[in-house]
Each structure stands twice: as structure tokens, then as C-alpha cells.
Structure 1
Amino acid sequence: YRKGDKATAYQAYINGINGHFSFINRSYSGVKGALNLYNTSPISSAAISNYLKGANVKQNETDLKLSDIMLQKYIAMWGWGFVETWVDLRKYHYQDTESGTTDTVYRTFNLPAPLYSLNNNLPVYRVRPHFTSEYTYNYTELQRVGALKNDYQTKEMWFSTLTVPQ
């Protein structure tokens, strides 16, 4: 998508949605126990077809936007991919707009207001170091990287400071 190859991006978008349905419908009973681990009531082909034709799925490459791709990725990752979802949110600074549009990448996402005052009203980009191991065994390094400061968790990660082509 970001390379400008919308035809390939659209096919990957549709393949990703279908792949997610296959994932949640897959039976894992042969691996562990006698139950499907993720979905005891598989989604029917008709329901999948209706979803693919619905308003939440773009019907052609011309209308496809980054926010549509990220919405479907968010849906697919819900429940087991929350760390990857948080990476994506931070990569797009929670509320970046898509290049050439007025749409935010995560259209309906809003940061809470007010943000925590010790964060200087900034969103969190990293988890603070663990209070036992790092503070006990690696204190000098925590000082060196600034991890002892109150707002350390608001410092952006390397992947959120890169210029991401849209």
C-alpha cells in the first residue's frame, strides 16, 4: 500500500481478512484435547461472505485506505496480538493522519483526556523497567538511558521516530 501498489495491497487486505477467518475457524482438537481452542462455533461461509460484502470491508482497491487495512489488522489481532497492536498505535503516534487525507489511521481512537500529569500530558510509548530486576541489577544503565526519570515511559520507541512513508 505504502509503495503505491494498490492492486497488490488490496489482494493482501482481502487475503488477510480471509486468513483471519480461517485461523479462528481452525480446529485444534488434534493438537490438544477435544475442543476447538478459539471457536467452538465456526463462522459459516455465508456469514464470512456477508462480512466481506459489508460496510467494514472495502470493495475495491481505489477506495482502500491505510485506516481500512489497520482496522482489519486490529480486528484480527484482538485477543492475542495486543502487543503488536500497541506497536502499530505507537508507530502512527496514536492519532496520525494518513497522508493525503484528513482521516486518522485509527479513525475512532481517542486518547483519554487528561493524560497522566507526570507524563507531561503525553501518551505512553514504552513500559517502565521492571521494579525488581532492572533496578536491582542494572541501576547504572537505567540512569544512563534516562529510565529513572518520571516521564521515561513517554519517550518514543525507535520505530515510532522513523519517517514512515504513507
Structure 2
Amino acid sequence: MTATQRRGRKIMMTPGELDDFLTTQRTCRVATVSADGAPHVSTLWFAWDGTSLWLYSVVRSKRWADLRRDRRVAIVVDTGEEYDELRGAELSGRVEFVGEIPRVGELCAELDFPETLFARKNFDLDEIPHDGRHAWIRLTPEKTVSWDFRKLGAR
């Protein structure tokens, strides 16, 4: 157990590395708890504002229904193909729903920054197109675990 913990610390990202990683990655996997207690995992684009991870989710989805009933979530962002390229982070905690549901574009100062980040990152636009089907979910992680196998050196 101790060896694993030391190795875990060795490959853990620094706060700056983690921030850079979450800022540049686009896709995450969102794990929720279904009504019957079974896990449900889905894939979404996201935006990272330096403190919170923002998800723009369809409100008529299993993911949305799961989170409305139980706000606990685990989100994984990872990349790499070869073993010595693997990098990632797991963020977990309880989500908050921000803004109108569904989002049609009413003024909401709290959403100005994450919507701009999301639109630029995922659509190369300055404003996000609102379709009346999505709404915002924010995770300010209670726990974060990260790994960067590149720190292990060549095998």
C-alpha cells in the first residue's frame, strides 16, 4: 500500500499542471448514480474555469435525471494511448445547477465566463448558441486525483 501511495505522489500533477491539463482538454466522462443504484457513465464536453468544471447537459437525459435526484458525481478527464503517455484527473463531489432550465439565454452574470470559455473552446465562437434543450451543471470538486505517467520516465 505504501509503495502505491509513493508512486501516486510521484505521478500526481502539480496544481499548475492540473489547471493547464483541464483547460486544454475537451472531453470528460461523467459517472452518476441511477435510480436503481447502478452507475451510469456518459461523455460530455466541458469547460474549466480554474476552480470549477462546467457541463452543458441535455436536460432530458438520463445523466440529468440522475443528477437531479442525487447530486453526487465523479468526472474523469484523461488522454494518452501508450502507457508512458497516460495523463488524467478524477474530480468528484456534488454538482450545482446554474441558470435557467433549460437555458434559452436569459441574462445570468454567473454564466458569462463559463459560457464564453465553453463557446470558444468547443465551437470557436464568442457566444454559445442556446437551443432550449441544455442547461448548466457546475462541479467545484471536493476531491481531485491526478496522474501523469510521463513522470515515470522511459520504460
TM-score w.r.t. length of structure 1:
0.22
Structure (1 or 2) with the larger CA radius of gyration: 1
Higher RCO (Cα < 8 Å, 6 or more apart):
2
TM-score w.r.t. length of structure 2:
0.23
